[in-house]
Amino acid sequence: MTGITPRMHRFTRAVGALAISALVSAGLVVGPTGTAQAKDLLPGVPAALAVVSAPVLSGTGDVGSTLTRTLPVWNLAGVTNSTQWLSDGAAIPGATGATYVPTAADAGSTVQAAVTGTLLDIVPLTAYSNAITVPAAGGGGEDPGDPGDPGDPGDPGDPGDVLSALVGPVLNGTPAVGSLLTVTAPVWSLPGVTTTYQWLRDGVPIPGADDPFYVPTVDDAGHQVSVSVSGALLGVPGVSMLTESLGIPLSSGSTVSPASDVTVSGTRKIGTALTVTGPTWEPADATNTYQWLRDEAPIASATAATYTLVPADLGHAISVKVTGHKDGWTDNTITSDPVAPVVGDPIQFLLKPRLTGTGKVGKLLTADPGVWGSAGEDGAPPAFSYQWNRNGVAIPGAVAQTYQAQLADAGRSLTVTVKAARPAYRPGTFTTAGITVAKVATSLRATTAKSTIKKGQAAVLALLLKAPGVAKPAGVVKVFDGKLLLEKLTLAPGKRGRTTVRLAGLKPGLHKLTAAYAGSAVLAGTTSQVVRLKVTTKK
């Protein structure tokens, strides 16, 4: 160890031994030979773990040569030790035993052992051994020193420049707002150590609280106060310790008090929000926290000043508990009168329902229910039901999502009424725009038995009206000679689309005969082909 002589080592060790001897004689320190526990130093004050003597490494440090560590001596009995070997301060993976064999990867680095002691609920403490340099390839190790000189740095029994606390820091005082707390300084294993302090509130540093004393304020009421104590000495790894915590009680007799009542407003409809008004507190700067209740039981995550009623609230009593808080004061709560939720408004569509498909007899039409708001608690869509309508009148039994256009629908408008239902809401309804079903196409055929007749003879025109799917088409038929209307007749259903027309009094010459079907409510109109008839003057 550069710059430190064997004499200095002997002095350091002697001072440490003298300090331990003096403290043991006074009954203040324990080690393997001590007769009192550290927790007995100040009755009623929890003990802090401290190192009586640090772990020591022995061995040459050569690659392939075993290094062995001793365990530290602690100020309390029953401490559990765990070891982590370090190379240049970094943990060596898997190196957690009592020995370690340096590898080629360690050549040129410094190896050290860190031993962490744990005991029940006392804050753990880590003690560091002396460091041994692993010689670089081709080089030699450190001078092992004179084994006969216990002060020589090469002596395997010399702990070297390791700082530890012989007696840990202890908190003193009454834990209360305005009451002085002090912390005793640690007794260090080496002279010349600089001790610093940092007071903590719930483990977080308190700004400006870096003296060995502290007076808790109202900000500390209801929190845990402790001290982080650190020792620093030039050229030696520093040591930090954490004292036990003291709970600072809330100020007695200072309870937040409600100055006004708390009320809940809103329509009470499922899907709408309830809002809290009040309360005010004494003192006036107390803050509110909220918890909404269903039948006096807390509703998960309902901790805001507003609450949106959900279907699960229907049939139950909803209230809110408001807690007033101010640091240093005791919290107080006040609960509103309960309200009874009612069924929500009809749910509304976000994307309106519509019909898809072709408006033709025999074709399938489909109702798209659209997208509706007020999603269920599980995010699922509402339950849909359907009613198909013909010219605005419900079609009996047509309640599926799909519908096949019938002959009765020809020439008429089809719509569907979609009903969206969700628990705790009134159902929403919407009737789609209509699709008109086309009339059934027809064909009309006209024929004559003769293409030429004599003047004075009557021509017989045979008519045949056909419509797919219609066995008995009926309606009005007109017969024309060119544009001249010759006859108008009604084709009765019983004739199954067949009839004949006698045309008398036709003048000599060429006649172009056609028949026109006017159509019906479900059948489309049509015109026959032209039939040419010649009337001669010969008798």
| Residue 528, domain CATH | 2.60.40.10
Per-residue 3-state assignment (H helix, E strand, C coil) for 143-210:
CCCCCCCCCCCCCCCCCCCCCCEEECCCEEECCCCCCCEEECCCEECCCCCEEEEEEEECCEECCCCC
115 occurs within a structural domain: yes
Domain co-membership, 364 together with 432: yes
Rounded CA separation 402/404 (Å): 7
Rounded CA separation 190/14 (Å): 10
- Two tokens, residue 429: 């309804």
Residues 129, 115: contact at Cβ < 8 Å? yes
The predicted model scores a pTM of: 0.48
- Two tokens, residue 358: 């072709």
Which residues, other chains included, contact 52 with Cβ-Cβ below 8 Å and sequence gap of 6+?
A: 20, 29, 30, 31, 72, 73, 74, 75, 164, 166
317 occurs within a structural domain: yes
Rounded CA separation 450/461 (Å): 9
Give the pLDDT confidence of 408-422 residue by residue, as tens digits: 999 999 999 999 999
Domain co-membership, 432 together with 451: no
81 occurs within a structural domain: yes
- Which residues of the chain have a pLDDT value below 50? 1-46, 139-159
Domain co-membership, 320 together with 362: no
Domain co-membership, 337 together with 362: no
Domain co-membership, 243 together with 190: yes
311 occurs within a structural domain: yes
Nearest to 164 by CA among 237, 91, 92, 227: 237
Domain co-membership, 530 together with 458: yes
Rounded CA separation 418/413 (Å): 16
Between the two ends of the chain, the Cα-to-Cα distance in Å is: 153
Last residue within a domain, chosen from 119, 134, 149: 134
Could you identify the residue written with the tokens 């919407």? Answer: 430
Q: How far is CA 180 from CA 45, 171, 177, 212, 235, in A?
A: 15, 11, 9, 11, 35
Domain co-membership, 457 together with 531: yes
Query: Domain limits at 294?
Result: 257-342
Domain co-membership, 447 together with 531: yes
Kind plus residue range of the DSSP H or E element containing 465: strand 459-466
Tell me, what CATH number does 263's domain have?
2.60.40.2700
Rounded CA separation 130/70 (Å): 11
Rounded CA separation 140/456 (Å): 147
- Two tokens, residue 371: 């997208």
Last residue within a domain, chosen from 226, 248, 270: 248
pLDDT value for 375: 60
Query: CA dihedral defined by 198, 203, 204, 206, rounded to 10 degrees?
Result: -40
Q: How many CB atoms are closer than 10 A to CB 311? A: 18
160 occurs within a structural domain: no
Domain co-membership, 389 together with 313: no
Residues 228, 197: contact at Cβ < 8 Å? yes
73 occurs within a structural domain: yes
Nearest to 63 by CA among 17, 109, 27, 129: 109
**Ramachandran assignment for 525, one of left (phi > 0), alpha (psi -120 to 50 degrees), beta (any other):** beta
Last residue within a domain, chosen from 326, 342, 358: 342
pLDDT value for 99: 95
pLDDT value for 378: 57
174 occurs within a structural domain: yes
Domain co-membership, 93 together with 106: yes
- Two tokens, residue 79: 């401490």
Which residues, other chains included, contact 116 with Cβ-Cβ below 8 Å and sequence gap of 6+?
A: 81, 82, 83, 84, 124, 125, 126, 127
Look at residue 120 and give its three-state secondary structure.
coil
Domain co-membership, 301 together with 319: yes
Domain co-membership, 417 together with 499: no
DSSP state letter for 94: T
203 occurs within a structural domain: yes
pLDDT value for 138: 58
pLDDT value for 252: 59
Rounded CA separation 428/409 (Å): 27
Domain count, the chain: 5
Nearest to 328 by CA among 219, 224, 204, 247: 219
**Ramachandran assignment for 296, one of left (phi > 0), alpha (psi -120 to 50 degrees), beta (any other):** left
Q: In a 10 Å sphere around its CB, with 0-12 CB exposed, 13-18 middle and 19+ buried, how is residue 379 labelled?
A: exposed
Rounded CA separation 413/366 (Å): 14
Kind plus residue range of the DSSP H or E element containing 14: helix 6-25
